[in-house]
Amino acid sequence: MPPSKTRALVTGAGAGLGRVVALELAKRGCTVALVDIDERALQATSALLRELDATSLSIRVDLTAESAAKDVLEQVAKSWGGVDILINNAAFGGIQPFFEMTVTFWQKTLAINVTALAMLTAAAGEIMKRQGSGRIVNITSPASRMAIPNYAAYSASKAAVDSITRASAIALAPFGVTVNSVAPGMMDTEMQRITEADLARIEGRNDIDAFLAERTRRVPLGRRAEIREVAATVLWLAIDAPSYVTAERLNVSGGLDRD
* 143-200 pLDDT per residue, tens: 999 999 999 999 999 999 999 999 999 999 999 999 999 999 998 888 888 888 888 8
User: Is 151 among the catalytic positions?
Assistant: no
Residue 88 CA, chain-centre distance (Å), reads 4
Residue 69 located in a structural domain: yes
The pair phi, psi for residue 66, each rounded to 5°, is -55, -50
pLDDT score of 217 = 93
Of the candidates 154, 157, 227, 253, the residue annotated as catalytic is 154
Domain count, the chain: 1
Q: Where are the beta strands (DSSP E) in 73-176?
A: 85-88, 134-139
Residue 14's domain is classified under what CATH number? 3.40.50.720
Residue 206 located in a structural domain: no
- What's the first-to-final CA gap in the chain, in angstroms? 32
Residue 250 located in a structural domain: no
User: Of the candidates 171, 187, 169, 172, which has an alpha carbon nearest to the alpha carbon of residue 231?
Assistant: 187
pLDDT grade for 128, boundaries at 50, 70 and 90? very high
* 176-186 pLDDT per residue, tens: 999 999 999 99
pLDDT grade for 2, boundaries at 50, 70 and 90? very low
Residue 235 belongs to domain spanning: 3-185+226-244
Helical packing angle, 16-27 and 39-51, nearest 10°: 20
User: Of the candidates 19, 27, 87, which has an alpha carbon nearest to the alpha carbon of residue 54?
Assistant: 27
What is the per-residue burial (b if ≥16 Cβ within 10 Å, else e) of 58-71? bbebebbeeebbee
